[in-house]
């Protein structure tokens, strides 16, 4: 079932310039989240996996330097505020649209992070928010959404059930639909994260290079134009559910040397993006109870056009539930960060997916890659974590 209101004409071009404009618009409302590194995780990513776990005679030997974008430290604990604030700020640019929205409010469907994000953005602008959430949504996400003043309506867990409930709300309230991912303003807002990553990592690499340089190392008389361009990320992996973040980050890297990849859980066919990408046909329904609950949705039509049709995403990879849990444990034990399972799917690809790791080894050689990984959110309950790591 399609969303009950037509997709709006993009208020900004779906390009890198459009992402840059979005960044200026939402700057007052979001945090510039930190980039962290971890020597242990970079070492593990650069260490061949045991042959017994890979099923191949010679496991890949990539060299990976990992850079983590900590959107778990963003407002509401997830990257979703970027798109939500951008969508609402764009509505304000049309007096007629905004006048209607002020009285009728906004509506969406979400398992939790977009729900909280739109609730906060609506509260900040003093407008009503109506949120459809699956009844199996995590309790902390439901409580936080209500805490930001939103009205919550429950539905089934599939996208079809969510959208049916949204249609009823739109008919009853006249509220403006702000979908969680299949919306041009959402995509542009999420893409602002990619711009930050590229700039932050370039600055950190430049600072490290400068610290390693002593007087006399550089020949005198070097012209500024002869200097090599500053290094930044060779690639970025983001989790992929509906594809809003992945397509937005892909737009932010358009025209640069940085490649973008998507990461998904494979449990119960949650890797619809990967299967669609390599078959050439978008898969429109997903029904999975993967522990990566934020990635239980199919890739939307607009993200698909960026990811696949424009070929701005270089590849898609998937990982198992056990690999997601192993990556999650490493982040808790080695980085001391609170992240949700969806947030570590990209790290799991870098650590355990032999297809990805072999590709890096083949294409990067001894130089290796500086790889950006997005920790997309940190909204997880202690009870859920206890269940994940409970001894059998």
Mean pLDDT for back-to-back runs of 10 residues, the chain (392 residues):
45 91 97 98 96 83 98 97 97 92 94 92 97 87 93 86 91 94 97 98 92 58 58 96 97 97 97 98 93 93 98 98 97 97 98 97 96 96 86 68
Per-residue model confidence as pLDDT tens digits over 228-268: 667 899 999 999 999 999 999 999 999 999 999 999 999 99
Please report the pLDDT score of residue 229 as a whole number: 65
- Domain-wise residue ranges, the chain: 16-78+184-210+231-388, 81-177
Per CATH, the number for 16-78+184-210+231-388 is 3.40.50.1100
**For residues 375 and 118, what is the distance between their CA atoms, to the nearest angstrom?**
20
10 Å Cβ neighbour count for 232?
22
pLDDT at res. 223 = 57
pLDDT for the residue numbered 25: 97
pTM: 0.91
3-state secondary structure of 374: strand
Q: Give the strand order in the sheet containing 64-70.
A: 35-36, 64-70, 369-375, 235-239, 259-265, 315-319
Q: What pLDDT, in 10s, does the model give residues 188-224?
A: 999 999 999 999 999 999 998 888 765 545 544 545 5
Catalytic residue numbers, as ranges: 80, 111
What confidence score (pLDDT) does residue 383 get?
86
Q: Cβ distance 236 to 202 under 8 Å?
A: no
Per-residue pLDDT, 385 = 86
CB atoms within 10 A of CB 116: 30
The confidence score (pLDDT) of residue 227 equals 56
Among candidate residues 363, 348, 317, 345, the one with its CA nearest the CA of residue 63: 363
Q: How far apart are CA 198 and CA 257, in angstroms?
A: 11
Q: What is the C-alpha separation between 115 and 110, in angstroms, rounded?
A: 5
Q: CATH second-level architecture of 81-177? A: 3-Layer(aba) Sandwich (3.40)
Please check whether the two domains, 16-78+184-210+231-388 and 81-177, share a CATH topology.
Answer: yes
User: What is the pLDDT at residue 2?
Assistant: 43
What is the predicted pLDDT for the residue at 392? 65
State the chain's mean pLDDT as an integer.
91
């Amino acid at each position: 079932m399609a969303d009950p209101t037509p997709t709006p004409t993009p208020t900004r071009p779906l390009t890198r310039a459009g992402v840059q404009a979005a960044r200026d618009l939402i700057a007052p409302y979001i945090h510039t989240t930190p980039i962290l590194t971890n020597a242990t995780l970079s070492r593990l990513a650069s260490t061949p996996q045991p042959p017994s776990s890979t099923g191949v005679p010679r496991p890949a030997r990539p060299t990976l330097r990992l850079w983590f974008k900590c959107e778990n430290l963003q407002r509401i604990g997830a990257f979703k505020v970027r798109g939500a604030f951008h969508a609402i700020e764009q509505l304000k640019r049309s007096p007629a649209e905004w006048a209607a929205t002020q009285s009728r409010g906004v509506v969406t469907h979400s398992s939790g992070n977009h729900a909280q994000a739109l609730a906060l953005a609506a509260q900040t602008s003093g407008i009503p928010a109506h949120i459809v959430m699956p009844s199996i949504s995590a309790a902390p996400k439901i409580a936080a959404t209500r805490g930001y003043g939103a009205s919550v309506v429950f539905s089934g867990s599939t996208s079809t059930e969510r959208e049916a409930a949204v249609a009823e709300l739109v008919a009853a309230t006249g509220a403006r639909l702000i979908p969680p991912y299949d919306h041009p303003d959402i995509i542009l807002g999420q893409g602002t994260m990619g711009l930050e990553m590229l700039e932050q990592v370039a600055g950190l690499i430049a600072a490290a290079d400068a610290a390693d340089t002593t007087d006399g190392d550089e020949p005198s008389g070097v012209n500024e134009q002869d200097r090599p361009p500053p290094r930044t990320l060779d690639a970025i992996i983001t989790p992929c559910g509906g594809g809003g973040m992945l397509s937005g980050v892909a737009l932010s890297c358009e025209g640069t040397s940085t490649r973008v990849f998507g990461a998904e859980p494979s449990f119960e066919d949650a890797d619809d993006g990967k299967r669609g990408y390599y078959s050439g046909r978008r898969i429109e329904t997903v029904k999975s109870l993967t522990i990566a609950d934020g990635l239980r949705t199919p890739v939307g039509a607009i993200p698909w056009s960026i990811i696949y049709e424009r070929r701005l995403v270089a590849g898609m990879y998937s990982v198992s539930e056990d690999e997601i849990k192993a990556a999650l444990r490493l982040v808790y034990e080695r980085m001391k960060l609170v992240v949700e399972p969806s947030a570590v799917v990209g790290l799991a690809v870098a650590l355990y997916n032999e297809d990805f790791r072999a590709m890096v080894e083949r294409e990067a050689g001894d130089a290796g890659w500086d790889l950006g990984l997005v920790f997309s959110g940190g909204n997880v309950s202690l009870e859920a974590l206890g269940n994940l790591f409970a001894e059998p």
